[in-house]
Chain A
Amino acid sequence: MPASNERSSAAAADQAREFVITRLFDTSREVVFEAWTECEHLMRWWGPKGFKMLSCKNDVRPGGEFLYGMRAPDGSEIWGKWTYREVDRPERLVFIVSFADPAGNVTRHPSSPGWPLEMLSTVTFEEEGEKTKITVRWAPFNATDAERKTFEEGMESMRQGWGGTFDQFAGYLKEKRS
């Protein structure tokens, strides 16, 4: 059926255009929003496991910036910044995400120069009873066609689960070694 094919391919295209992740927290929205926006708190949780926040400056108002530096477990430093466009306390934040240098100048992705220079991110904080649902959305911002394509291919390869394929690769490599 062409109609349903069109719909599903449109849905797939949407999935590729935007990175979305959600999580439910067992805490009131005010507390979650504070933990999300104040350096005192951000220093304690922001970044993946094993990463250490080195620096945090956060000016949460439209036009203000969140500039952060973190040290990865391999010792390398990563700097990034968010430039706020909308601040709707305690419900919604809209900001532009980019890699940066310690002075806050926008830089390219450290390992993929084709990655969009800027991403538009929307974070919503929704009350669900006593809990708070956070949704983070990322999409390329002011990107060239080539940058948009790099992003979409990245999303596509994630969606197709190259991760699972890697179990096969691991098995294959083990076989090769033995």
Chain B
Amino acid sequence: MNAGHLDATFAALADPTRRAILARLTAGETSVTELAKPFEMSLPAVSKHLKVLERAGLIARGREAQWRPCRLDPAPLKEVADWVEHYRRFWDESFDRLDDYLRHLQSKEKRKHARKQREK
């Protein structure tokens, strides 16, 4: 992963309009005009957001058709989700292992105690 790559993705995701655009694109590729419809925003303003998303590698735009359809490129988003989830997962899974380990300690303690009782 390139240094600073995630930071560019975070910066692109920081804006609610850009997040809404990405959410719309999960339904499939579409034109800029279609994308602009739900927002009270001029086409150039939407294009500006698209450029930020494109630079962050979050969307790709077709060269072939005149209307240059936008489509989602989920790879960097997956990286961000993996990364922010990493912290929660780190603790969740460490806690699972600690829980198992404490049970193991306790049963060892009980066996030791039982053995002592029998030896008495």
Residues of A within 8 A of B (CB): 19, 21, 23, 25-27, 31-32, 35-36, 41, 44-49, 111-114, 134, 136, 138, 149-150, 153-155, 157-158, 160, 162-163, 165-166, 168-169, 172-173, 175
Contact = CB atoms under 8 A, between A and B. Distances in A.
A23 B80 CA distance: 25
Contacts of B23: 165
B77 to A, nearest CB: 7
Interface residues of B, number: 43
Nearest to A110: B1
Interface in B56-114: 72, 74, 77-78, 80-81, 83-85, 87-103, 105-106
Given A158-B84, A169-B72, 7 more contacts: A35-B102, A41-B101, A44-B97, A46-B97, A114-B7, A154-B10, A155-B84
A47 B90 contact: yes
Contacts, number: 115
B3 interface: yes
B7 A112 contact: yes
B41 interface: no
Q: Majority SS of interface residues in chain A?
A: helix
Contacts of A45: 94, 97-98, 100-101
Contact of B81 (A19, A48, A163): A163
B6 to A, nearest CB: 4
B81 A113 contact: no
A163 B6 CA distance: 17
Interface string B22-39: 010011100000000000
Contacts of A157: 10, 13, 80-81, 84
A49 to B, nearest CB: 5
Closest 3 CB pairs of A and B: A48-B93, A45-B97, A114-B7
B14 interface: yes
Contacts of A154: 10, 80, 83-84
B98 A35 contact: yes
Nearest to B91: A21
Contacts of A172: 26-28, 72, 74
Nearest to A154: B84
B7 A48 contact: no
Given A150-B7, A162-B84, A47 B94 contact: yes
B88 to A, nearest CB: 7
B31 to A, nearest CB: 17
Contacts of B4: 113-114
B98 to A, nearest CB: 5
A26 B85 contact: no
